[in-house]
Amino acid sequence: MKIHDIPGFPNPLRVRVVLAAKGLLDKVDFVPVDLPGAEHKRPPFLAINPTGTVPVLELDDGTYISECTAITEYLDNLDGNPILTGKTALEKAMVHMMQKRAESELIDAIGIYFHHATPGLGEALQPYKHPEWEGRTYWGEMHREKALAGMHYFDSVLRKQPYIAGDFFSMADATVLGGLLFAFYAQIPVPSALTALLEWKERVDQLPAVIQASA
């Protein structure tokens, strides 16, 4: 298997955590994609993922799977023992619900803020984001506020349970982790009052899968 991604970036981290948790890190080859150079917006990459984003999983038979959730489902179920996407009907529903919230209320909102209200990854990519770039956009700024509201929401969730979707580390935790990495790059600090979210971050940063994925 191959993973097309770029190390140290937020959405790629989500899948690297999954690979580490499943003991698959050394079973894949990583193919670097030049995001600052806008390689992912040109035809050869768009042929493998029309949405022009990383990560993408390439299987040995030539199948390409994009979207972190789809990649996670595949990897988590390969050995018939899903540990990140839920085992029971209720667990699966909770993981998917919280995972979707982690995307829409946090990591995707930060991505919009980063690419549309800041210079983002630089000049090569900017034409694909905001051709009339002159500065911050109201739309981009709104998503900074949305991401902050998302942080407050996940803090409230973590005041009641140890992990984002319940009592085990799941795909939803990996998404929030990627979101907070993105928040760091986008310079949106987690407010100090969000002690449950900050404590969760310290705790999951110590998990072997997260340490291995971030190495």
Pairing status of strand 56-58 against strand 2-5 = antiparallel
**Residue among 108 and 155 whose Cβ is closer to ligand GTS:** 108
CB of residue 52 vs ligand GTS: minimum separation in angstroms? 6
CB of residue 124 vs ligand GTS: minimum separation in angstroms? 10
**Partners of 58 in the β-ladder:** 2, 64
CB of residue 110 vs ligand GTS: minimum separation in angstroms? 9
**Residue among 8 and 189 whose Cβ is closer to ligand GTS:** 8
Query: In whole angstroms, what is the distance from residue 212 CA to residue 195 CA?
Result: 25
**Residue among 22 and 40 whose Cβ is closer to ligand GTS:** 40
Contacts of 96 (CB under 8 A, 6+ apart): 69, 85, 86
Residues that bind ligand GTS (CB under 6 A): 9-12, 35, 40, 53-54, 66-68, 111, 115, 125
**Residue among 9 and 200 whose Cβ is closer to ligand GTS:** 9
CB of residue 17 vs ligand GTS: minimum separation in angstroms? 13
Q: Is the Cβ–Cβ distance between 148 and 191 less than 8 Å? A: yes
Q: Is the Cβ–Cβ distance between 5 and 33 less than 8 Å? A: yes
For residue 9, which phi and psi values (nearest 5 degrees)? -100, 155
